[in-house]
Amino acid sequence: MCFVLKAINYVLQYALKKPYGVLYKKKNITRPFEDQTSLEFFSKKSDCSLFMFGSHNKKRPNNLVIGRMYDYHVLDMIEVGIEKFVSLKDIKNSKCPEGTKPMLIFAGDDFDVTEDYRRLKNLLIDFFRGPTVSNVRLAGLEYVLHFTALNGKIYFRSYKLLLKKSGCRTPRIELEEMGPSMDLVLRRTHLASDDLYKLSMKMPKALKPKKKKNVSHDTFGTTYGRIHMQKQDLSKLQTRKMKGLKKRPAERKAEDQEKKSKRIKKD
């Protein structure tokens, strides 16, 4: 869920998040990076944790602040500038129904290099992924959001999926540019401190994956299991019978006599 403020960029984001978004249009909202109380107030009122705030001034033209909240307090905020923008209306073709779960693709090694980019990737996933579902209709996968990090810019493109016949079961993909496309430049960031971030990541015990006891994994991918057995009487152990090693009756007698003599000696 998200809410969007200010008229300047409302079309594209709102359309992307349509059934789950709330739009607030109000001029003279305070600056998110200085004072976060009004944002938190809105988040509490509309019970939303994701927000997008657009503004435009001489110093920061076409500014967009994407952020998320934890417990109605700001967790992360990232400010990006929009350099090139093509809206849904400018590209004239058929669109996919609103509310479809999009596929997300992040390209470029920049997304793992700096902490800023990593958080941005995490934030964008959180923002655009839609509701979590357990099943998805394969024919209903229509929408792809593609983020490319290149030369300090992030290219955001949305495509409509066309499934073409290929010889085998998996179809061949053709893309048609459909939705909004933007070139973003990273400006300021306000990331949560490490411990707040850790606190927000805490999962309740029920959701944590259950650890299996006595099972360990190797670095090579081998799974090791440990079996605990009771104490065995090794003399009663059934082993392979090697006929050559069988004791002959003469030897057996000799052994018995030795044992007897040992016992007498002890006593």
Partner 1 sequence: MEGQSVEELLAKAERDEAEKLQRITVHKELELEFDLGNLLASDRNPPTGLRHAGPTQEAELRALARDNTQLLINQLWQLPTDRVEEALVARLPEPTTRLPREKPVPRPRPLTRWQQFARLKGIRPKKKTNLVWDEGSGQWRRRWGYQRARDDTKEWLIEVPGNADPMEDQFAKRIQAKKERVAKNELNRLRNLARAHKRQLPSAAGLHPTGHQSKEELGRAVQVAKVSTASVGRFQERLPKEKAPRVSGKKRKFQPLFGDFAAEKKSQLEMLRIMNSKKPQLDVTRATNKQMREEDQEEAAKRRKMSQKGKRKGGRQGPGGKRKGGPPSQGGTRKGGPPSQGGTRKGGPPSQGGKRKGGLGGKMNSGRPGLSGKRKGGQHQGGKRRK
Site for partner 1 in 197-236 (CB under 8 A): 197, 199-204
Q: Which stretch binds partner 1 (CB under 8 A): 54-62, 69-77, 215-223, 233-241?
A: 69-77
Least CB distance to partner 1 at residue 147 (A): 10
Of the candidates 14, 20, 22, 49, which one interacts with partner 1 according to CB under 8 A?
49
Which tokens hold the place of 50?
Answer: 């994701």
- Check residue 169 for interaction with partner 1 (CB under 8 A): yes
- Give the residue with the Cβ less far from partner 1, 42 or 62: 42
Q: Of how many residues is the chain composed?
A: 267
Name beta bridge partners: 149. 154
Q: Which stretch binds partner 1 (CB under 8 A): 9-17, 59-67, 151-159, 230-238?
A: 151-159
Backbone CA torsion sign across 114, 116, 119, 124: negative
CA–CA separation, 177 and 95 (whole Å) = 10
How far are the Cα atoms of 1, 145, 156, 179, 245 from residue 88, in angstroms, in the given order? 21, 13, 13, 5, 87
Report which secondary-structure segment, H or E, holds 216.
Answer: strand 215-217
Q: Which stretch binds partner 1 (CB under 8 A): 56-64, 142-150, 234-242, 243-251?
A: 142-150
Q: Which stretch binds partner 1 (CB under 8 A): 10-18, 29-37, 219-227, 231-239?
A: 29-37
CA–CA separation, 152 and 149 (whole Å) = 7
Of the candidates 173, 185, 215, 254, which one interacts with partner 1 according to CB under 8 A?
173
- Give the residue with the Cβ less far from partner 1, 151 or 214: 151
Of the candidates 18, 172, 253, 260, which one interacts with partner 1 according to CB under 8 A?
172
